[in-house]
Amino acid sequence: MTELTFAQLGLDQRMLETLEAENYSIPTPIQYQAIPSLLKGRDLLGIAQTGTGKTAAFVLPILQKLSEKPVKAAPRRPRALILAPTRELAIQIGESVKTYGRNLHLRHAVIFGGVGQSPQIQKMVRGVHLLVATPGRLLDLIGQGHIELDAISFFVLDEADRMLDMGFIHDVKKIARLIPEKRQSLLFSATMPRDIARLAENLLKNPERVEISPKIVTVDRIDQHVYFCESGEKRDLLAEILADENLRRVIVFTRTKHRANRVAEFLSKRKIETEAIHGNKSQGARQRALANFRKGDTRVLVATDIAARGIDIDDVTHVINFELPNEPESYVHRIGRTARAGAQGVALSFCAPDERPYLRDIEKLIKSEIASKGERPLMEHIPQKPKNEQSQNNRPRRSNRKRGPSKAAGAAPQEKSSKPARSRRRRRGPKAA
Ligand code: AMP
């Protein structure tokens, strides 16, 4: 297919200049599929995850349409509303609005819970054209009379499936009822469970449907490997892997907040610059950790799925799944943090015997096997056993299609390992699912 340009999508000169300054040379698939129909005023159902360029796909046309009718921002009455499930995502969307709209004379605000209301209220009283909000704080401020939604003409629900996971769906419906029927509505979701499909039916009128398969994001551009190990070996394995300085900007995922803290403490003790972000941290602490990570002061960010969802940090070189997620979709979201917008990324996963079923589900979802790393070097450390026993226990689990040094992965703990052979044998023991 010939490559479309942003100009061909119908974006105006001011937008084009901004995009050029941002070095966005060609639109991503969701952008060239969504922008023209959004500029025509169509509703949109976008099945896409972070990393596909979806934020620009909705922010650019909305900003353009808002700027076509230049009215002064009315106190308390925004004209566009973007709902996001987490404060991090809301902040990030706000940053995109600021970047893409810098040549336009539009005002925007970002509101979310966990911080004082006053600055947010002041902004609303002065008036904004576009509001980015999380549902709880938005309803609070509506309840207190600081915001009215009767002038909204553009309504975006971002990461609808995450809204559902986080229990916001009733709030979302309540908010949608306060917005005039005559509006342009957009709903984005990485997955389409039945509740979200029903919500989309209620919110959207004759929507254009754009689906960006996560497979494009993950399997094609991300080097994926799995290490089979015992749970108790994971920390040392992580430290060994991080000894390689090619792992410049790393996100380590855990399933729980508790584990995130433990892993961060362990790495800090090993003098590896690490911070953890998760739901129990204060808003300020999370923002500080993210800022340090962005600047490169913190090399490793340890995160849980919810905390990391929607974080937009470019140039993450490696994602390490310290624990595999029990929902296979989360794997796709996690590893989507690396290989953003065209870059090559690496995702390494630690799989303990009791996580094998999770791995199977993930491989089913991404429709390919994740290459195993470590078997060959580990095998070299295993003393030869009688043939019949060896063929059962030490048989490499997979064909290792992708095996071999991967450009950026480096990091295999190969030669250095000092683990006793006994524990290695257990790695591939018959109890593995
Ligand atoms: P998103 O999926 O909206 O979170 O975007 C992922 C990342 O891709 C962000 O860092 C954007 O700045 C970047 N991005 C979005 N669209 C483009 C594009 N057309 N060309 C290059 N980078 C882009």
Residues 6+ apart with CB under 8 A from 430: 392, 393
Third-level CATH fold of 215-394: Rossmann fold (3.40.50)
pLDDT at 165 over 70: yes
| Domain coordinates in residue numbering, the chain | 6-211, 215-394
Cα–Cα distance between 158 and 54 in angstroms, integer?
A: 9
Q: Is the pLDDT of residue 391 over 50?
A: no
pLDDT classification of 214: cutoffs 50, 70, 90: low
46 beta partners = 188, 210
Q: Is the CB of 254 under 6 A from ligand 1?
A: no
Measured from the CB, is residue 158 less than 6 Å from ligand 1? no
Whether residue 92 has its Cβ less than 6 Å from ligand 1? no
Percent of the chain with pLDDT over 90: 59
For the residues 74-103, what does the mean pLDDT come to? 95
61's CB contacts (< 8 A; 6+ apart) are 11, 34, 35, 38, 39
What pLDDT, on the 0 to 100 scale, is given for residue 285? 80
Which pLDDT does position 332 carry in this prediction? 84
Q: 382 in ligand 1 pocket by Cβ < 6 Å?
A: no
CATH of domain 6-211: 3.40.50.300
What pLDDT, on the 0 to 100 scale, is given for residue 175?
98
Answering whether pTM is above 0.85, one says no
- What is the predicted pLDDT for the residue at 341? 57
| Integer Cα distance of 92 and 82 in angstroms | 12
> In angstroms, what CA-CA distances link 156 with 53, 65, 83, 193?
15, 14, 6, 18
pLDDT tier at 15 (50, 70, 90 boundaries)? very high
**pLDDT score, position 374:** 58
Distance in Å, CA 4 to ligand 1 centroid: 16
- To the nearest whole number, what is the mean pLDDT of the chain? 83
Tell whether ligand 1 has an atom less than 6 A from the beta carbon of residue 28: yes
Q: How far is the CA of 312 from the centre of ligand 1 (A)?
A: 9
Q: CA–CA separation, 414 vs 240, rounded Å?
A: 9
Cβ of 53 below 6 Å from ligand 1: yes
Is 50 near ligand 1, meaning CB less than 6 Å away? yes
Query: Does this chain's domain 6-211 share its CATH topology with 215-394?
Result: yes
**How far is ligand 1, taken at its centre, from the CA of residue 51, in Å?**
6
Ligand 1 atom 19, closest CA: 27
Between residues 289 and 425, which one has the greater pLDDT? 289
Q: What is the band of 386 on the pLDDT scale with cuts at 50, 70, 90?
A: very low
Nearest CA to ligand 1 atom 18: 24
pLDDT tens-place string over residues 370-379 = 988 754 334 3
Give the bridge partners for 185, in sequence order.
Answer: 155
Span from the CA of 23 to the centroid of ligand 1 (angstroms):
10
Q: Give the start-end residues of each E strand in 336-414.
A: 345-351, 371-373
CA–centroid distance, 50 to ligand 1, in Å, is 9
